Amino acid sequence: MQTQQRRSKLIEFVRVRGFAALEDLVRELGVSESTIRRDLDALEDQGAAKRTHGGVLYSGGIPRLSEFDEREPANWAAKRAIAARAAESISDGETVLLDGGTTTYEVARQLVGRSLQVVTNSLPVANLFASQARTDLVLLGGYVSPRTGVCLGPYANELLGRLHVTTTVLSAAGITAEGLFNAHLLLAETEQAMLRAAGRVIVVADSSKFGRKSLTFVSGLDTIDQLVCDDALPAAWREIVTAAGVELLIAPLPRASEGAPSGSRPIPTAEDASA
């Protein structure tokens, strides 16, 4: 009964690559196409793999962090624009501290390939820079939250206490006149440590975050140096923010049939990472 063994080999093969063409599997396992198809059907029934035209897709252990799957395109455009604006204000050679929000992740993507020192507690962000020779990467350790992939806990905070960075880029779940709010209790503490470690604090948040509170208070507006938001932010909020001594950077939303957000290249994306 080597059927089971072959299927184990098969799923293993698929897991390593994330995807395998039917043809590859025939060659690899030395059985007929029909047999592979039957194996695939069986494995799909078990939920271990997902068939596609011409191949199989692994549907098991690849880390798909739930927080990053939501991303409705609407919010996403704003996040992208904000991230581009924030990335602009960061110069080469800086030491940048990035937290683990989705908007911050977009900022991180814009920074891939730049000459920077990056400090982060976010596993997804770290992955972006891990193989980049031009970026030094320092990862804060600690307990990794399964949903968001960020490192939390006393170890992260303690290490942060001993670091100093030129710029901290922070996200927020809510912003009011009182200050920033976040949805995660432990994360709030880590973010406070991040604020203390920074020479300059940039907060990235789309306009929907304003006027909303969230679970825990993180910090007052006075600790923020710059706030990047999309252009849908009402004037009233702009006044509140600037009155608190925060420099407000507005990222223009790319409306339909309009060109690139601001400057040189249209929209930096994954190409930069793989170049």
Partner DNA sequence: ATTTTCGTGACTGCTTTCATTCATTGAAAC
Partner DNA sequence: GTTTCAATGAATGAAAGCAGTCACGAAAAT
Q: Which residues between 3 and 42 bind its own copies (CB under 8 A)?
A: 4-5, 7-9, 11-12, 15-16, 18-19, 21
| Phi–psi pair at 182, nearest 5 degrees | -135, 160
- For 87, residues 6+ apart whose C-beta sits below 8 A from its C-beta are 107, 110, 111, 268
Q: x/- string (CB under 8 A) for its own copies, residues 160-199?
A: ----------------------------------------
Minimum distance from residue 258 beta carbon to its own copies (Å): 9
22 binds DNA (CB under 7 A): yes
Q: Which of the 8 DSSP states describes residue 122?
A: B
Report DSSP letters for 157-225, one per residue: HHHHHT--EEEEEEE-SEE-SS-EEES-HHHHHHHHHHHHTEEEEEEE--GGGBT---SEEEE-GGG-S
269 binds DNA (CB under 7 A): no
Q: How far apart are CA 43 and CA 138, in angstroms?
A: 40
Q: Please report whether residue 62 would count as binding its own copies according to CB under 8 A.
A: yes
- Is 17 near DNA (CB under 7 A)? no
Which one of its own copies, DNA, none is in contact with 274 (Cβ closer than 5 to 8 A by kind)? Answer: its own copies
Query: Does the footprint of its own copies cover residue 68 (CB under 8 A)?
Result: yes
Q: Which residues pair with 227 in a beta bridge?
A: 203, 248
User: Minimum Å distance from CB 73 to its own copies?
Assistant: 7
Element (H, E) at 19: strand 19-21
Site string for its own copies, 205-244 (x = CB under 8 A): ----------------------------------------
For position 31 contacting DNA by CB under 7 A, the verdict is yes
Contacting residue, 8, 18, 21, 178, with DNA by CB under 7 A: 21
Instruction: Name which position in 143, 239, 243, 262 contacts its own copies (CB under 8 A).
Output: 143
Tokens 């939920």 correspond to what residue? 47
Q: Residue 142 touches which of its own copies, DNA, none (CB < 5 to 8 A by kind)? A: its own copies
Count of residues touching its own copies (by CB under 8 A)? 78
Among 55, 100, 101, 179, binds its own copies (CB under 8 A): 55
What is the distance, to the nearest Å, from the Cα of residue 162 to the centroid of all Cα atoms in its chain?
Answer: 25
Which pair of tokens denotes residue 273? 């990472």
For residue 223, count other CB atoms closer than 10 A to its CB.
20
Q: Does 9 bind DNA (CB under 7 A)?
A: no
